[in-house]
């Protein structure tokens, strides 16, 4: 499973003149065909940014124009039987804070990585800000351009 960061969708919806837009569009076409995933934290970060420019009715229908349109699985925390207080303490404070103490990382990025690393099927984390995540996770971190190049290489070698 390929998991996408927030910035992929910010570029798609808000920065069509960015020099990376065509590569981003090509990458998202691949995701539409093969499927991908996004954490609920990334989705909420993106929707919060979109709330400034999208009418409330469209925002409320995000599942159709984001999740369904891009063939995305939304990754939610697996909390088991823990109560709300324990969830908040563990998943929203302790775990991200421990990561921030080990390595400089933004809070939301820490939340996202913590959740992504719990996905057994995760093959790669795709972001335009790969340098922000390098060395901060055991997962492969690639830009959309690097991911597309690796797919082309795999196709050429017959994998």
Is the residue at 103 inside a domain?
no
Number of domains present in the structure of the chain: 1
For residue 157, pLDDT beyond 80: no
For residue 103, pLDDT beyond 70: yes
Mean per-residue pLDDT of the chain? 91
Q: Quick one: pLDDT at residue 34?
A: 94
Q: What is the DSSP letter of 24?
A: H
Is the whole-model pTM more than 0.85?
A: yes
Cβ atoms of 31 and 2 within 8 Å: the answer is yes
Strand ranges inside 5-139, DSSP E: 36-39, 72-75, 124-126
Collapsing DSSP states into helix, strand and coil, what is residue 27?
A: helix
For residue 159, pLDDT beyond 60: no
Q: What's the domain range around 7?
A: 2-76+122-156
pLDDT tier at 145, thresholds 50, 70, 90: very high
For residue 156, pLDDT beyond 80: no
Which tens digits make up the pLDDT trace of 35-73? 999 999 999 999 999 999 999 999 999 999 999 999 999
CB atoms within 10 A of CB 30: 15
The token duo for 45 is: 């970060």
> How far is it, in rounded angstroms, from Cα 2 to Cα 22?
19
Is the residue at 150 inside a domain?
yes
Give me the CATH number covering residue 136.
3.40.50
Which tens digits make up the pLDDT trace of 75-101? 999 878 888 888 888 888 888 889 889
């Amino acid at each position: 499973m390929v998991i996408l960061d927030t910035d992929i969708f910010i570029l798609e919806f808000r920065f069509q003149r960015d020099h990376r837009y065509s590569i981003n569009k090509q990458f998202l076409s691949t995701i539409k065909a093969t499927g991908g995933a996004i954490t609920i934290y990334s989705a909420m970060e993106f929707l919060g940014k979109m709330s400034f420019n999208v009418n409330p009715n469209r925002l409320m229908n995000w599942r159709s124009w984001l999740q369904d349109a891009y063939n995305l699985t939304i990754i939610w925390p697996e909390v088991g039987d823990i109560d709300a207080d324990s969830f908040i303490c563990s998943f929203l404070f302790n775990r991200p804070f421990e990561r921030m103490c080990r390595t400089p990382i933004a809070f939301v990025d820490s939340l996202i990585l913590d959740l992504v690393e719990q996905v057994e099927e995760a093959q790669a984390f795709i972001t335009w800000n790969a340098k922000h995540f390098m060395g901060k996770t055991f997962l492969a971190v690639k830009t959309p351009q690097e991911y597309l190049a690796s797919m082309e290489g795999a196709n050429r070698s017959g994998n």
